[in-house]
Amino acid sequence: MESGPSTVRLLSGNGPDHEEARGLVLRFLGGDVGSDPYPVLNRIRQAGPVWVRDDLLVLSSRAHCEAALRATDTAPASAGACPVSAARLRRAADRAFSADAVTDLAPLVRRLVDDRLDSVAARGRLEAVSDLAHPLPMAVLSHLLGLPASDAQWLHRRAVALAPALDPGPAGTGTAGPANLAGSRQAETELEAYFAEAVERRRRNGGDDLLSRLIRVDDGGERLTDAKTASVGRFLLGAGYETTAALVSGSVLALLRAPQEIDTVRKDPGHAGHVVEETLRLDPPLQMVQRRASADLDLCGTPVARGTLMVLLLAAAHRDPALASSPDVFAPDGASPHLAFGAGRHHCLGAPLARLVARTVLVRFTQRVLGPRFALGSPSYRPAGALRGLRALWVDADGFAGRDLPWPEPPA
Ligand code: HEM
C-alpha cells in the first residue's frame, strides 16, 4: 500500500518523498536510529503526514499532533491504555496528583534527593541513572501507593519490562520484537497479581495511601472493582516510573552539555524549571503516543477514516520550525512549548510530580555536586522505542557538599 485514503501532499519542496519518508518511519518505529533519532525525525516531519499502511498514519508536525491529541473523536491506542481515564477514577486520582498534593510531597522529595547524594558522596562520582533517576521516582511512587521500600528492586525489573508494550512497532508487534513483548506481558501479569494482593490487604486493613482511597471511590453507589483498582496501581507505575527517570537523567545530561547552566541554576534555583521544560521539548521521554480515530476526522486538512491508528511523533513535533527559529538548539529561556505530557482530555496526570522530582534533583545537583563533568565514556541509551531514556550517565566531581546547605523557598 503506497499511500492511504488521502494521498499525501508533500509540505516542503526539499523534503523527502513519501516512499523515503515511509522507509524512515519504519526505521524509527523499528528502533533502528541509533542514539540520536532527531535527524530522522526531522526528515519525517518535512514529508508531512505519512501513511505506513491504509489504516496506519504517522503525524509529526506540531499542528497535526496537537490536533490529534485534542480531537474528541479519538481514543488512546497503546497496549496499556489508561484505566484512570474513566471519569470518576480520573477525579479521584486528580486529587492525589493535584498541584497542592504535589507541593506537600516537596519535603519528602528533598529528603530523598539528599539521601541519594549522601550515599554516593564517598565514592566521589555518581551514575545519574542508577543513583538518582531510578530510585527517586520509585521511592515517591511507592510512598503514594503505600508500597514497601523493600519491593523496589522487584518493581523496578517489572516496570522496565513493561516499556515495549508502549511501542506500536511497524506491524503493531512492538519495536523490540515479540520476545520482549512476551516479557512485557509477563511483567504486566505479575504486577496485576502484586497490586491485586495490595488492594486486598487494604480492603481488610484500611489505609490512607492512593490505593486505599481509590478503593473508597464511590460514584452514585457504584464501587470500583478490586481488579480495576489493581490495574490503576499497575498503570501508574508503568506510566510514571521510567518516564520520570528518563526526565531526571535527561535533565542532568542537559546540564552537563551546557555547563554555563549549572552556575545559572545554582544562583537562581527557579531556572531549574526552564532546564526541565527545555529537556522535555528537545529530548522527550515519551517520543510518541498513539490514537485510534473513533469517527471520520479532518486533521488540519488531512482526512482520517474511522478506525485509523495514528502514531503521533511528539519528539518530531517539538522541533517544528513553525514554533521557533532554531528548534534544534537547547535554549532554556522559559519559552519551551511542548506536548511532552500530551494535551486535551488525556493530559498527563503525573506532570506536576515528574516536574517536582526533576527540578529538585537539578537544584541540589548544582549545589552539592562540585565541578560536575562527564566521566569517561559517552552516555548510552536503552534500545529506542516510544520511551527514550539513558541507560547510564557517569558523572565525575571534585567533591560533594554536605546536606546542610539551605534549600531555596518556595520549593522548586
Ligand atoms: C516525565 C515524566 C512523564 C511523561 C513524559 C509523561 C507523559 C505522558 C503523556 C505524553 C501522556 C498522554 C498519553 C496520551 O495522550 O496517550 C501521559 C498520560 C498519563 N500519565 Fe504521564 N508522563 C510522565 C509522568 C507521569 C507520572 C509520574 C504519572 C503518575 C504517577 C503519570 C500518569 C499518567 C496517567 C495516569 C496518564 C493518562 C491520563 C489519561 O488518559 O487521562 N505520568 N503521560
Taking the CA of residue 144 as reference, the ligand 1 atom at the shortest distance is 30
Split at pLDDT 50, 70, 90, the class of 32 is confident
Taking the CA of residue 285 as reference, the ligand 1 atom at the shortest distance is 5
Q: Taking all residues of the chain, what is their mean pLDDT, rounded to a whole number?
A: 89
Q: Output the pLDDT for position 225.
A: 85
343 occurs within a structural domain: yes
Q: Output the pLDDT for position 78.
A: 66
Query: How many A from CA of 294 to the centre of ligand 1?
Result: 21
Query: How many A from CA of 14 to the centre of ligand 1?
Result: 35
Cβ of 350 below 6 Å from ligand 1:
yes
Cβ of 65 below 6 Å from ligand 1:
no
408 occurs within a structural domain: no
Q: How many residues in total does the chain contain?
A: 412
Split at pLDDT 50, 70, 90, the class of 6 is very low
Could you read off the pLDDT of 387-412 as tens digits, one per residue?
A: 999 999 999 999 999 999 999 887 76
60 occurs within a structural domain: no
179 vs 327: which has the higher pLDDT = 327
152 occurs within a structural domain: yes
Cβ of 250 below 6 Å from ligand 1:
no
- For the chain, how many structural domains are there in total? 1
Instruction: Tell me the C-alpha distance between 165 and 185, whole Å.
Output: 8
1 occurs within a structural domain: no
Split at pLDDT 50, 70, 90, the class of 3 is very low
When mean pLDDT is compared across 52-56, 188-192, 212-216, 343-347, the lowest value belongs to: 212-216
CA geometry: angle at 242 spanning 324 and 115, to 5°?
Answer: 105
Split at pLDDT 50, 70, 90, the class of 350 is very high
Cβ–Cβ < 8 Å for 316, 339: no
Split at pLDDT 50, 70, 90, the class of 7 is very low
Please state, in angstroms and as integers, the Cα–Cα distance from residue 325 to each residue in 240, 258, 275, 314, following that order.
32, 20, 19, 18
Q: Output the pLDDT for position 218.
A: 67
Taking the CA of residue 291 as reference, the ligand 1 atom at the shortest distance is 16
44 occurs within a structural domain: no
User: What is the average per-residue pLDDT within 192-212?
Assistant: 93
Could you read off the pLDDT of 59-105 as tens digits, one per residue?
A: 999 999 999 999 999 988 865 566 777 686 777 778 778 888 899 99
Cβ of 76 below 6 Å from ligand 1:
yes
95 occurs within a structural domain: yes
Give the CATH number for residue 132: 1.10.630.10
229 occurs within a structural domain: yes
Domain extent for 258: 79-285+326-400
Ordered DSSP codes for 271-298: HHHHHHHHHHHHS-SB-EEEEEESS-EE
Model confidence, pTM: 0.93
Q: Output the pLDDT for position 279.
A: 98
Taking the CA of residue 137 as reference, the ligand 1 atom at the shortest distance is 27
